Structure 1
């Protein structure tokens, strides 16, 4: 029994369960939340103790993570990604203070490495020999990479629309990849059936309550990197809801152990073509499934599996909900790259697109301090990178041809 964890609790009916490595969902179908023993944590963990920790990864926060004291961390370095003070972008947007958390610098180039690293550790604790999941791409590649480093085979189910860059990662990492000719919902259901049939360890975020605990380390890092000075807002792209739920959980954990004295508001950003969670908030109605009509594949989730936790996080934080078009997402890719040198994939920059739109709509005070989380690297989806930035000039190896190309493109060196 973990000393820092009390139990797992259903977010729907409130039933409590022992937090074992194999804990999944409630018998009512609700997702479980890991509940911590904050009094015990405060007796052994404080800012001074943390400042002496030389571990530069997500595992520096072990007192706030549901892992056994003797559980080895994953071999890949996950977490402690840079937080940039984005003055150029802030000026372009008309915002006083903006920070960009570049989580595309994780080992497999997305924030989801945090969840997968946690899944690998819990799978080891459970004695599992195989791990499986369904994914639109990033969860899949992060699991395949982290599991490969730990010597654990994986079975990965992805929609056939998954970008080639992410599929290439899966194959390079040695995963058994099943490309499903259907939606993400179809992919999830097939993975669920296969996991039940063969007894694989389940990395699916809406089934495994430990994955949000890995994802929450992104906000633990943000707060430490800001010297525990809480920003007004944290903006995140949202798909199945696991990331924003985890981010909020991390903030509440820090508040409950006294590391921060207030909580920021969240900005939940979804693509207009697939925004079931934001639509539920905007209309104050239960969420309903939607088509997956967006180029931001990582957040193209028409049936979000972590809806309860995500909606709770947005409401508890008095958060903003912003929907952005695919064109606005592509524009954010260009703007983030040209002002800050950060290359994000479409879903990775959706949070930044939402900050821009919130300012334009007058929903965000220009004097605010905002952190925008870039959740994935643009090299995962180079086709949309070129779509956002345009093809390069093609010229003959001749100075006259170069001068003509410059003139045609309005370039005056």
Structure 2
């Protein structure tokens, strides 16, 4: 292998390029034009990744990435690689640790490519099988209404899955109409008590401005991808 490649809308490319730089491995990143924040774009560039901006959406980048890695000695780092799930599922361990091993009733996972929702299913079941916890939380797969193929499949009672052309959405990191982890996600949902929900663009924008929690001395608000905290007088 001459390098490791991924299609991304931000987080995957940032993590991939960081670890590749530390290991002295070439990283190749395919990004959809104008669908990634400056903060996330800086990270692969700063870590020396070969970054290509493609005039398409994430689904188009993913298709091109699959073709390139099939023809060239470049290792595929997206969720088609089963090793990816082994890393993603450790998020569930972190959640349980931060809750002092008290299992939350619900875990809501914003989902586009559907890798995280399967990894969470896999991780929570692993923790239960190891005896770390005695139950697992209910998972909610949250999709945007303009990119919701799993939600539509769920509402039809798992009768017919249809790919879709994702419309433009504010939550662009989940703007995916052809999720590559669909088979694993369906397996997780059919073998557990899970639900799928959607949010309209209006709901997404409203929630951006809502207060999401109040602590003893501080109030927390969610705005975009950032949580802002101010002290209550």
> Whole-Å Cα distance in 2 between the matches of residues 300 and 272 of structure 1?
10
> Whole-Å Cα distance in 1 between the matches of residues 104 and 146 of structure 2?
29
Stretch moving more, 207-216 or 312-321: 312-321
Q: Counterpart of 2:183?
A: 308
> Whole-Å Cα distance in 1 between the matches of residues 37 and 95 of structure 2?
31
What are the Cα deviations for residues 167-202 of structure 1, in whole angstroms up to 9, with x where unaligned?
A: 232222221111111232221121112222221111
Please tell me whether residue 227 in structure 1 is matched to residue 227 in structure 2: no
- Shift in CA distance, 192/248, structure 1 to aligned 2, threshold 3 Å: same
> Whole-Å Cα distance in 2 between the matches of residues 195 and 146 of structure 1?
19
Which of 94, 107, 126 aligns to 1:253? It is 126
> Whole-Å Cα distance in 2 between the matches of residues 336 and 153 of structure 1?
42
Structure in which a larger fraction of residues adopt strand: 2
Aligned CA-pair RMSD: 2.1
Which of 183, 192, 200 aligns to 2:66? It is 192
Deviation of 1:242 (Å): 0.3
Rg (Cα) greater in structure: 1
How many residue pairs get matched?
220
TM-score, normalisation: structure 2: 0.86
Which of 48, 52, 62 aligns to 1:178? It is 52
In structure 2, the gaps of 5 or more residues are 228-233
> Whole-Å Cα distance in 2 between the matches of residues 151 and 337 of structure 1?
41
Q: Counterpart of 2:144?
A: 271
> Whole-Å Cα distance in 1 between the matches of residues 163 and 223 of structure 2?
27
In structure 1, the gaps of 5 or more residues are 1-127, 346-376, 380-413
Deviation of 1:295 (Å): 1.8
Listed as ranges, the matches of 1:205-354 within 5 Å are: 205=79, 207-284=80-157, 285-293=159-167, 294-336=169-211, 340-341=219-220, 343=222, 345=224
Contact 1:130 1:201 survives alignment (8 Å): yes
TM-score, normalisation: structure 1: 0.50
